[in-house]
Amino acid sequence: MSNAEKTSTLLSLSTLNVLPQSVAHDGNTEVGLTRKGSETQFVALAPDASALKDFEGTISAANGQSLLVGPMNSKNIIALRKRLSWLTPRLLGLQTSAGFGDRLGIATPGHIRALRAVGGNIAPIFTQQSIREMTRTGRSAQQVMDDATWGVFAEGWTTGFGADADHLKTPADIDTCVAAGYTFFTIDPGEHVDNEADAASMDSLKAAYEKLPWDQLEDKGSELLKRYVGKVFKVEDHTISFDEHAVYKAGVKYGRAVAHITKMYRHLVEVAKVFELEVSVDETQTPTTHAEHLFMVSELKRLGVKWVSLAPRFIGRFEKGVDYIGDLTAFEADIAVHAAISRQFGPYKLSLHSGSDKFSIYAPAMRQTRGVVHLKTAGTSYLEALHTIAEIDPALFREIYIFGRERYETDKASYHVSASVEKAPPPSVPDAQLGSLLDDHNVRQIVHVTFGSVLKNPDFYTRIMAVLRANPDAYAANLVAHFKRHLEPFAK
């Protein structure tokens, strides 16, 4: 029960600055958050101290009851999840959805306010970070989960959310995220995709085809050829055909990926009670053709894999931090066929990875998928943190930008980016113009991909978090303004 449904004693305590939207009730116990300066703490009020024994904090008397004031730590959020069911992530199904990556762990309130501002029926994933990003930020899967849940609690978001263990590559990654309570598992088989297949000769393709892990695929090369060569598949108003070359290329390009996805899925079935699977092949060098999409999902179905979402490598360029680069008419024609495949062979959602700031493709994607789509964002929330810092502490932003320029050539290695330090504006612009630097393609990508180096620098991290924690509403307001542009096309 929320504070809107029951009188709040916590809010009446003049010694506390309780955040009204955070107040909730569990029987006779009332819980919430209180803020003093830049520090936010957990509070709980109950008729008797025994009702607070599962929480950590200092207990004192208040209005004839027992008041606990404690830290926003893992123990307290775990105890809250047991009391308030809406703090536990849930499955989202085929509902239009959006993922909100948060590299700092304090963006969820802004994400929620943006969702409320646009309305609609978008299912959110507030807990989302890849193992790669966790490594670069020095955060654990449990920390990511707990930080997002505290944000959900702070805003009183009771309508449910998902938790995405993003870009998992090993069974050990799965185990870590299952233990932390994730519900949505994104399998990244990118290392098993053969990016050379597109340009390979027929002889090379045949040689590579023979070496595929046929035992793991539970198949024979000759049998696979029989299933596809010369076949024409009718997919709604589209036809997809396979000649011999197309089958060899699809097999070589995605065969090992299919085997890896199957292995990961079967492990997930063994260790997770309930889950949703996303298949991601977006971080590869060449686009996923319609025939390759059909081939891959047909083979996954044959092997018993079930998934709710799939991220192909679409045509055009999905670079970090900037809008889609490519022909929009061609993109819409391309995703139209991918969407038809997803309806006929699923249904499952198409997922837009590296989806941050791809404003020009949101309407076409929503139109062609008929709303059966997932938008995945990540680094853009960090960019809005830097935007906030540029407004409040220009000197700190300037230092981060200078440092990012120095680190860019090294840190960009694992990202699809085209920025150039030489083309980026100099860091010597006046303080009042620093925020506008983030409108520049080159600057956005430079500071986007160097986040790990910045956040692992203790001085930068401490100062960044101090600014944002002292100005939470300013950060949230920037997130709302930015994410309304992301969400409005999907809220229709």
Estimate the crossing angle of helix 171-179 against helix 244-271, to 10 degrees.
40
* β-sheet bridge partners, residue 401: none
CA atoms within 13 A on the CB side of 416: 18
Q: What's the 3-state SS for 414-444?
A: HCCCCCCCCCCCCCCCCHHHCHHHHHCHHHH
CA distance 391 to 436: 10
CA distance 335 to 325: 15
Note if 5 is an active site residue.
Answer: no
Note if 146 is an active site residue.
Answer: no
Residue bearing tokens 């971080």:
283
CA 151 to chain centre: 15
Alpha helices in 184-323 (DSSP H): 202-210, 214-217, 221-228, 244-271, 290-302
Closest CA to 125 of 346, 381, 481: 381
Q: Of 147, 155, 278, 334, which one is the catalytic site residue?
A: 278
Token pair in block for residue 79 = 């105890």
- Please give the angle made by the CA atoms of 93, 96 and 102, to the nearest 5 degrees: 95
Preceding amide of 171 cis, omega within 30: no
CA distance 212 to 221: 8
Question: Which phi and psi angles does 28 have, rounded to 5°?
Answer: -90, 0
Token pair in block for residue 307 = 């998934």
Q: Of 164, 166, 276, 283, which one is the catalytic site residue?
A: 166
CA distance 413 to 415: 6
Max Cα–Cα distance, the chain, nearest Å: 84
Catalytic center residues: 166, 278
